[in-house]
Amino acid sequence: MEKTYALITGASQGLGKAFVLELAKRKINPILVSLPGEGLAFIADEVKALGMEAHCYETDLTQKENIVALADWVNDRFPLSILINNAGCGGTQSFRNASVDYLDRIIQLNVRATSLLTHQLLPNLSRQKCAYVLNVGSVAAYSPIGYKTVYPASKAFVHSFTRGLYQEFADSNVFFSVVNPGPMMTNSDSCSRLQQQGRFATMGLLSPEQVAAISIRQLFKRDTLIMLNWVNRLTWMVMKFLPIYIRLPLLTNAIKKEISRA
Ligand SMILES: NC(=O)c1ccc[n+]([C@@H]2O[C@H](COP(=O)([O-])OP(=O)(O)OC[C@H]3O[C@@H](n4cnc5c(N)ncnc54)[C@H](OP(=O)(O)O)[C@@H]3O)[C@@H](O)[C@H]2O)c1
């Protein structure tokens, strides 16, 4: 049987790691990508224990030349059937106090790396009988939010970029999908934020493993805008129908309170 390969960015922890293990359980060989020195080899061992191949590539995706080098490395070695653009970063700060590097990193990773990696791997994906691209956005894609600086805008980009490609490639063998998760207990930042926000914030909370499992299941069902559960769907509907003059100050004030509590 022909081997199937999937590339996952941000594979060292959180949702990316969950995607890696979910794909391995489905007999798909993952190619793990993250920053250097973050223990990809340990996750690769978990994949091998499931009887699958695991290939690791450590690089900083905020650098354009690294994205091109990664794509060349993959294109020379593997027939790629799945790309998951998961690596992403964000945070909460006032725009005035945010450093240039902080802003630049969010834009380069969330926007540029997602676009360029997809572009560079598309010829490879197009050669496969059937290929999938899953981009990880966020519920922050559905509304601007003050004090989140460029994060919601970058995720709105991911959402819009994916929807456009879905339509552009509708008659092709490459299928595009986007998932916009709500908060998850992944890194220490998101864990402490969720704990501070109390019971309301944890309603319908999904683990990274649940998000990965639902996303992959829906991706293979060719669901182009993946809704993870009823809370995720409700958030989408509320953001769609609540007028901007209500939701923008509401969300911004909630985040502002979070900053002043910290
Ligand atoms: N956590 C949430 O509450 C939440 C909610 C909605 C959406 N999301 C989205 O879900 C995705 C995954 O989030 P997460 O919480 O699982 O993230 P995370 O735990 O912070 O992990 C981020 C991953 O991206 C990698 N990464 C960061 N900077 C990189 C760079 N410059 N080059 C290459 N890889 C880099 C990290 O690698 P290293 O380990 O090597 O640093 C890590 O593997 C992101 O796109 C995020 O925006 C998260």
With a pLDDT cut of 90, the percent of the chain lying above it is 88
pLDDT at 190: 82
State if residue 16 touches ligand 1 by the CB under 6 angstroms criterion: yes
Give the pLDDT confidence of 126-157 residue by residue, as tens digits: 999 999 999 999 999 999 999 999 999 999 99
CA distance 248 to 216: 32
- Contact assessment for residue 121 and residue 76, using Cβ atoms and an 8 Å cutoff: no
Query: How is residue 71 annotated by DSSP?
Result: H
What kind of architecture, by CATH, is found in domain 5-261? 3-Layer(aba) Sandwich (3.40)
Q: How far is the CA of 140 from the centre of ligand 1 (A)?
A: 15
Q: What is the pLDDT confidence band of residue 71, given thresholds at 50, 70 and 90?
A: very high
State if residue 125 touches ligand 1 by the CB under 6 angstroms criterion: no
Q: How far is CA 87 from CA 55, 60, 106, 168, 257, in A?
A: 17, 10, 10, 24, 27
State which ligand 1 atom lies nearest to the alpha carbon of 35: 40
- Contact assessment for residue 10 and residue 88, using Cβ atoms and an 8 Å cutoff: yes
With a pLDDT cut of 70, the percent of the chain lying above it is 98
State if residue 38 touches ligand 1 by the CB under 6 angstroms criterion: yes
State which ligand 1 atom lies nearest to the alpha carbon of 61: 32
CA distance 119 to 211: 25
Q: How far is the CA of 88 from the centre of ligand 1 (A)?
A: 4
CA distance 167 to 20: 27
pLDDT at 204: 83
Orientation of helix 151-168 relative to helix 114-127, angle to 10°: 20
Over range 165-178, report the average pLDDT: 98
Is it the case that residue 10 has pLDDT exceeding 90? yes
Residue nearest to atom 23 of ligand 1 (CA): 10
Q: What is the pLDDT confidence band of residue 158, given thresholds at 50, 70 and 90?
A: very high
Q: Which residue has the higher pLDDT, 258 or 238?
A: 238
Residue nearest to atom 45 of ligand 1 (CA): 88
Give the pLDDT confidence of 14-67 residue by residue, as tens digits: 999 999 999 999 999 999 999 999 789 999 999 999 999 999 999 999 999 999
Residue nearest to atom 34 of ligand 1 (CA): 34
Q: How far is the CA of 220 from the centre of ligand 1 (A)?
A: 23
Q: How far is the CA of 149 from the centre of ligand 1 (A)?
A: 17
Q: Ligand 1, residues 7, 63, 139, 186: which to mutate, most atoms within 8 A of Cβ?
A: 186
State if residue 186 touches ligand 1 by the CB under 6 angstroms criterion: yes
Q: What is the pLDDT confidence band of residue 174, given thresholds at 50, 70 and 90?
A: very high
Give the pLDDT confidence of 199-229 residue by residue, as tens digits: 777 888 999 999 999 999 999 999 999 999 9
Q: Which residue has the higher pLDDT, 259 or 229?
A: 229
Q: What is the pLDDT confidence band of residue 189, given thresholds at 50, 70 and 90?
A: confident
